[in-house]
Amino acid sequence: MIYLDNAATTKMRKECLEEIEKFSVECFYNPSALYKPALEAAKSLKEARRTLLELLGDTNGGLIFTASGTEADNLALFCALKRKSGKIVVSEGEHAAVYNSALELRNRGYNVVCAPVKEDGGVDMGTLEGLIDAETDLVSVMHVSNETGAVNPLSEIAGIIKRKSPHALFHSDGVQAFGKIPFNIKDLGVDMYSISGHKLHGPKGVGALYVKAGVNLKPVIYGGGQEGGVRSATENLAYIMAMKRAAELAYQNFEKRTAKLKALKGLYFDLLTKSIDNIKLISSKEGAPHILTAAFYDVRGEVLLHALEKHGILVGIGSACSSKKHSRFERLLNLPEKWREGIVRISLSEDNNEEEAGFVVEKIKEEYELLKSIGRI
């Protein structure tokens, strides 16, 4: 099996499984209890929080552990302090966790406006800047597009916000960036930043929201006061420790790892361009090193996906959270109708290699030509 849908989820590392077993069976104690083994569990929780903050680049910030990147996004949008008379600005290309949260805030009476995306899936900076004004209370723009790998210039956006609405909070969904591209969160200028365990070879069911020092959030779950009182509940220590381990592994030999992914993406980019007619590469070589999205003329991406599956090749057609109804993003790219439904996303991990690439592109070409010959399905 050749798995090329790593933007949807990744294979968990065995080291993470070992952490889950250790903190589920041996060190299973509640970190809020007062006896010695529980105090050791609390120490491990503190260590995990500090390690992740170190990897992000700001040990003075806070980190709220959640059950997913989606929950982290929801915390940022719903719990950030904002006025109904103020403005909330988001990118139209946001993951459903942000975009649908913004729509719900609009339903609740908030003034929500959306900035369009460019042809590569990155936010249109000119329009975004025009939307941000003195009335803006919250801005949310993802760091790396989960659909195309486009990298948004967060530090530039932060500068615009600081100049035009200094009181506004800036959130970014960093799920496809953390562990994938180099950055220091202090340099990004964000107030909140979401991460997820299963996008970097950790377990599903765990994520976190970075919160800059001095930023206050309203509680979303009331109870024992865990996670700074914002999200009360006994912490899922086993999964938190597994996510911490996954992040540590992701940042080991980071430059070498990302260079390998960049070279592999470049190889796919070149092979697809040379081998297949009637293909549009939506992603750019300058985007995140693990995502390459293409559109095929007059063939449905879902049909091509299933055609490749019989060869043991698994690809995506966009965000797994909206793959059954992903037409919103198709429309945003302004593709002509004959290209619009032919989007296929190849997303890589270090488990992939150059030897696979030739076979994969050969089968894509073979199945695409076959589908074209028999007509649109």
Q: List the chain pLDDT tens, one digit each, 377 residues.
A: 999 999 999 999 999 999 999 999 999 999 999 999 999 999 999 999 999 999 999 999 999 999 999 999 999 999 998 898 999 999 999 999 999 999 999 999 999 999 999 999 999 999 999 999 999 999 999 999 999 999 999 999 999 999 999 999 999 999 999 999 999 999 999 999 999 999 999 999 999 999 999 999 999 999 999 999 999 999 999 999 999 999 999 999 999 999 999 999 999 999 999 999 889 999 998 999 999 999 999 999 999 999 999 999 999 996 555 545 455 677 777 788 888 889 999 999 999 999 999 999 999 999 999 998 886 54
Enter the tokens of residue 306.
Answer: 């299933």
- ∠16-20-23 over CA atoms, to 5°? 130
Q: Which helix (H) or strand (E) holds 259?
A: helix 254-275
Distance CA 309, CA 236 (A): 35
For CATH 3.90.1150.10, list the domain ranges present in the chain.
Answer: 2-9+254-374
pLDDT recorded at residue 321: 58
For CATH 3.40.640.10, list the domain ranges present in the chain.
Answer: 14-250
Predicted TM-score (pTM) of the model is 0.95
Strand intervals (E) in the chain: 2-3, 62-66, 87-91, 111-115, 136-140, 169-173, 192-196, 207-211, 279-281, 291-296, 313-314, 343-347
Q: Which CATH number fits domain 2-9+254-374: 3.90.1150.10, 3.90.180.10, 3.50.30.50, 3.40.630.30?
A: 3.90.1150.10
Distance CA 111, CA 284 (A): 33
Q: Which residue has the tokens 């007059």?
A: 298
Cβ burial of 302 (10 Å; 0-12, 13-18, 19+) is middle
Residue type, 107: N
Q: Supply the residues annotated as catalytic.
A: 321
Question: Who contacts 328 (Cβ-Cβ below 8 Å, separation ≥6)?
Answer: 99, 322
Q: If you classify domain 14-250 with CATH, what class do you get? A: alpha beta
